[in-house]
Amino acid sequence: MNLTIIGTGYVGLVSGACFAEMGNRVNCVDVDQTKIEGLKGGKLPIYEPGLEVLVQRNFAEDRLHFTTSLTEAAQTSNIFFIAVGTPPGEDGSADLQYVLAVAREIGQLITDYAIIVDKSTVPVGTADLVRTAIQKELDQRNVTINFDVVSNPEFLKEGAAIDDFMKPDRVVIGTEGDRAKELMRQLYAPFNRNHERTIFMGVRDAEMTKYAANSMLATKISFINEISNLCELMDVDVENVRRGIGSDGRIGFSFIYPGCGYGGSCFPKDVQALIRMAEGVDFEPEVLLSVEKRNHQQKHWFARQLEKRFGSDLSGLTFGIWGLAFKPGTDDMREAPAKTLLADLIAAGGKAVVYDPVAMDEAFKELPADWFESGKVKLAAHQYDALQDADALLLVTEWKPFRNPDLAAMGRIMKQKIIFDGRNQYEPDTIKDDGFEYFGVGRLLNKA
């Protein structure tokens, strides 16, 4: 099939590369000329394991193309995926200006039956707005062209997006048109060889499914973080509680790992957007509001622990920080707990030396320039360089190289042997055996 994907961000680029890998001819369109030229040269704007090889191979084999011209791409396509950004507005609702701008341009260009697929995460009712925008352009052209608007939300985990796309748990497709349903079934058939994973439903149902899925996962994270805070106050080890409840098949172990809060481009934005949707129909989303509130508070976990150990004034103290990205496997720092930690630390007078395996370049984009200029934040070339003369290690992101570190070497270079483990990666008894003080999320702190 001949596809056009508008937007070469995370969703658009992964989708385009994976569709091309299955033999489709894919045109990826973006208004950013620099980004397009970089992609043609094999330079990706994001980090995602396996994506660079996939893009370069399919580009070299002439299945994957990059252009700034939707007009050019539309000449050979009848399926258009809208994968542009939907950033949160000031009130947390999704901003649809880019989605609707693309819809209008598609309406100006199509000459035959077309399927327009909303791949971006968009609120319930967006397909109706896209349909109206396209039809308005067709009316102005005084032409009659049939088209269908389909909702096909993505369920990609950053750090595992290629596998998620190639071997999906499910493919959700919202459509009311039989013709669109059949073409979408054909398009996704190569991803359903082992068993049928495609779930067809109404367009509005599909739009809601995406938000409900991410909000459910965010709820599990906030729930276990709430329990971890209670455990800290009641002399309970949350890790034992986690194992106890996770063994129940109705609950499971996924997304019940205590930590310093969730971040990224999906959970915070989608929970906020669903809250705004609820408020738009005069419904009080009490659970969602609590999920968001707990996550906001959880991101200050490090600040609370540092104050307990060092007091409110951190002047003269330097902290080694492992991890900037909101999760391992990505360089994405959007809404990352590390950003909250750094802001709290600096506000209290402390300094930080930070290391992350892939997000170092992103740090200069996401963090205030004056933090670097003033020397309050420095980036280290190696994870152990961040610990030189450090008063404590703050583990923020659970990258694999951080999971089993050389404690003896750490002890030799750190000023004080203290670890604040924001992801509960270490066993307190092991840490204490090497002479370290240990603070974990919901753990029995400094247990003798």
Please tell me the distance from the alpha carbon of residue 3 to that of residue 182, in angstroms, as a whole number.
Answer: 15
With contact defined as beta carbons under 8 Å apart, do 121 and 270 qualify? yes
How are beta strands 25-29 and 114-118 bridged, if at all? Answer: unpaired
Please say if 28 is a catalytic residue: no
pLDDT digits (tens, 9 = 90+) for 194-208: 778 999 999 999 999
How are beta strands 198-201 and 318-322 bridged, if at all? Answer: unpaired
Distances (CA, A) of 31 to 10, 36, 234, 424: 15, 8, 55, 42
| pLDDT band, very low/low/confident/very high, at 448 (cuts 50, 70, 90) | very low
**pLDDT in the model for residue 445:** 60
**pLDDT in the model for residue 89:** 83
For every residue of 217-249, DSSP letters joined together read HHHHHHHHHHHHHHHHHTT--HHHHHHHHHTST
Specify the length of the chain in residues: 448
Q: What is the DSSP letter of 4?
A: E
Question: Does the predicted TM-score (pTM) go above 0.85?
Answer: yes
The number of CA neighbours under 13 Å toward the Cβ of 299 is 20
Query: Does pLDDT of 309 surpass 50?
Result: yes
| pLDDT band, very low/low/confident/very high, at 221 (cuts 50, 70, 90) | very high
Looking at 28, 231, 260, 266, which residue is catalytic? 266
Averaged over 378-396, what is the pLDDT?
A: 98
Report the mean per-residue pLDDT for the chain. Answer: 95
Secondary structure class of 189 (helix, strand, coil): helix
